[in-house]
């Protein structure tokens, strides 16, 4: 690494260093997400009993679900969750509440498909093919593009991208530390950007759907509700990552290096079997797309609605998850048999099973989370908070854009203390989806604003379990005489990316808001 790494430019001490250490101390005091949701559920139960006893309620004008009917005045009291009336259905529906938890089925099905393409080696081969095939001057941009889309593979993509970034930069005679830092920024900070639909989209949409249905909010909540925004954000983040890397990180770390190392580069070149696997997967992917077009384009096609339309609702949109599953399934099988990672048909379910292992922690957390959301909705506290929150926001006279920016900053700040994106959204969605719907924001707009704040500060959270991985990678290339790499090194080098992501994401959502552009298929900005 460059002699500059670990110098006084990194926040090892001073006010900023103390601030970071303070965040780490506070964050470490938070319980595991499992126990956090248990405590939240208990708090909701106790709070509901107290507020119900004190007669807390709200009165508001509720829109009718029947066309032509005028809004009616509705009074909603807090429901005592310690009463027999509330506790009996809670226990009798305990299993049903868990298995009907919207994100549960979505993430299981998506991870079965994504797990297969990951376990066969398709994603790794595709990323290496993309990076190694680029000319040297385009490596930064290509690394950023691949890293952003690598969140398709979740943890694997976040770990793989900085690793391959360091190796490729070193092989090209550039500072490997620059490749590691840029790769980590793109892969971990680009979770609100992707050309494709990832498991994260299905997971967050499932949580959004649960929050919307709890308040009878009739608006699209399918996994593609933010897809148009994500596609453009992919280009935005690629450009931002490239500019920050070349204009800020390279001057900080230096980019002098040895001559181009062909032997190191050769270690990451695709084998003939991997190349054959990619060709087979390409044909399988094209075949799947052609089949989808045949089932969608003609009038009266299978995936069209009864009236022949595709938007805003149709079998195509309601079948997004199984469509993606089968796409991943056939592409993964084609690559596996083409590359030789799959030998027999019995290997397919084995690799799908391995792909589910990364979801086990979510399955555990989903149990108390589903109970918390069910109790929260049953208590009517969502309605109380939504109405009171809407009244408070109205009293502040905040316009749409200031409100969005305030929410983005809130989510970005919370992300420093709680790094799990799904855990935070499980807490925030039941509050803000209903609350923002009352000021005209669609669930899709609320979700994408959350994703902006969450993504922008991923790379500067001292509690991130990826930071030790990045430290290890930087230590691997550290030269004799260089200062040791610490958490302050990582946070200081990633901070320019984080600020740039936050600003550019915010500018993009402002542009979307002003022009009232669709966030996804059949998904508008407003209710």
The pLDDT tens digits for 392-435 are 655 676 768 898 998 898 888 877 766 667 767 877 787 788 88
Rounded to the nearest integer, the mean pLDDT of the chain is 79
Domain assignment present for 525: no
Structural domains of the chain, count: 1
Burial of 146 (0-12, 13-18, 19+ CB in 10 A): buried
Confidence of residue 11 (pLDDT cuts 50, 70, 90): very low
Strand partners of residue 73: 61
pLDDT tens digit sequence for 492-503: 888 889 999 999
Quick check: 212 pLDDT over 50? yes
pLDDT tens digit sequence for 304-337: 988 887 755 678 777 877 887 898 899 999 999 9
Question: Which residue in 274, 407, 404 sits closest to 341, CA to CA?
Answer: 274
Quick check: 68 pLDDT over 50? no
Cβ atoms within 10 A of the Cβ of 165, count? 31
Domain assignment present for 20: no
Domain assignment present for 419: yes
Quick check: 390 pLDDT over 70? no
* Cβ–Cβ < 8 Å for 376, 45: no
Cα–Cα distance, 527 to 516 (Å, whole number): 12
Angle at 168 between CA 164 and CA 173, to 5 degrees: 150
Confidence of residue 381 (pLDDT cuts 50, 70, 90): confident
pLDDT tens digit sequence for 446-458: 999 989 988 898 8
CA quadruple 399, 400, 406, 410: dihedral positive or negative? positive
206-226: average pLDDT: 81
Domain assignment present for 58: yes
pLDDT of 494 reads 87
Quick check: 218 pLDDT over 60? yes
pLDDT of 235 reads 92
| pTM of this structure | 0.65
Cα–Cα distance, 376 to 427 (Å, whole number): 10
Asked which of 127-141, 338-352, 372-386, 422-436 is least confident by mean pLDDT, the reply is: 127-141
Segments forming the whole domain that contains residue 67:
54-515
* Cβ–Cβ < 8 Å for 326, 313: no
Domain assignment present for 391: yes
CA distances (Å), 29 to each of 17, 22, 26, 37, in order? 19, 11, 5, 15
pLDDT of 5 reads 46
pLDDT of 10 reads 42
3-23: average pLDDT: 46
pLDDT of 103 reads 67
* Cβ–Cβ < 8 Å for 527, 216: no
Domain assignment present for 101: yes
Instruction: Locate 322 and state its tokens.
Output: 């199984």
pLDDT of 75 reads 82
């Amino acid at each position: 690494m460059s002699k500059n790494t670990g110098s006084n430019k990194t926040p090892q001490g001073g006010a900023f260093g103390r601030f970071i250490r303070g965040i780490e101390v506070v964050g470490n005091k938070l319980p595991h997400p499992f126990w956090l949701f248990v405590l939240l559920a208990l708090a909701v139960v106790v709070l509901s009993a107290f507020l119900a006893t004190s007669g807390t309620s709200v009165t508001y004008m509720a829109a009718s679900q029947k066309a032509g009917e005028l809004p009616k005045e509705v009074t909603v009291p807090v429901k005592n969750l310690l009463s027999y009336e509330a506790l009996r259905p809670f226990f009798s529906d305990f299993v049903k509440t868990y298995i009907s938890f919207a994100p549960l089925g979505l993430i299981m099905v998506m991870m079965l498909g994504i797990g297969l393409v990951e376990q066969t080696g398709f994603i790794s081969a595709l990323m290496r093919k993309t990076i190694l095939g680029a000319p040297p001057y385009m490596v930064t941009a290509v690394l950023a593009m691949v890293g952003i889309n690598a969140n398709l593979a979740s943890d694997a993509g976040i770990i793989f991208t900085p690793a391959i970034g360091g190796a490729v930069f070193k092989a090209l005679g550039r500072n490997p530390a620059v490749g590691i830092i840029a790769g980590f920024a793109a892969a971990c900070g680009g979770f609100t950007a992707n050309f494709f639909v990832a498991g994260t989209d299905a997971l967050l949409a499932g949580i959004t759907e649960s929050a919307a249905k709890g308040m009878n909010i009739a608006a699209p909540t399918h996994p593609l509700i933010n897809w148009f925004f994500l596609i453009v954000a992919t280009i935005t983040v690629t450009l931002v990552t490239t500019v920050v890397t070349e204009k800020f990180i390279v001057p900080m770390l230096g980019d002098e290096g040895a001559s181009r190392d062909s032997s190191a580069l050769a270690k990451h070149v695709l084998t003939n079997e991997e190349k054959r696997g990619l060709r087979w997967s390409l044909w399988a992917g094209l075949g799947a797309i052609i089949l989808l077009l045949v089932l969608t384009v003609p009038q009266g096609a299978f995936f069209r609605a009864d009236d022949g339309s595709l938007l805003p609702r149709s079998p195509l949109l309601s079948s997004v998850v199984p469509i993606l599953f089968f796409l991943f399934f056939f592409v993964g099988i084609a690559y596996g048999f083409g590359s030789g990672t799959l030998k027999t048909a019995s290997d397919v379910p084995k690799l799908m099973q391995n792909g589910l292992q990364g979801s086990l922690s979510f399955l555990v957390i989903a149990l108390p989370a589903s109970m918390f959301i069910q109790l929260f909705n049953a208590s009517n506290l969502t309605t109380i908070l939504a109405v009171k929150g809407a009244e408070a926001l109205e009293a502040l006279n905040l316009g749409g854009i200031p409100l969005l920016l305030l929410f983005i900053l809130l989510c970005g700040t919370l992300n420093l203390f709680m790094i799990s994106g799904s855990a935070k959204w499980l807490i925030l969605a039941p509050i803000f989806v209903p609350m923002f719907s009352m000021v005209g924001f669609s669930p899709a707009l609320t979700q994408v604003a959350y994703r902006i704040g969450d993504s922008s500060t991923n790379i500067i959270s001292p509690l991130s379990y990826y930071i030790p991985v990045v430290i290890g990678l930087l230590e691997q290339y550290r030269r004799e005489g260089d200062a040791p790499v610490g958490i302050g090194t990582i946070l200081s080098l990633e901070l320019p990316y984080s600020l740039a992501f936050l600003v550019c994401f915010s500018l993009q959502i402002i542009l979307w808001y002003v022009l009232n552009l669709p966030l996804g298929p059949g998904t508008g900005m407003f209710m």
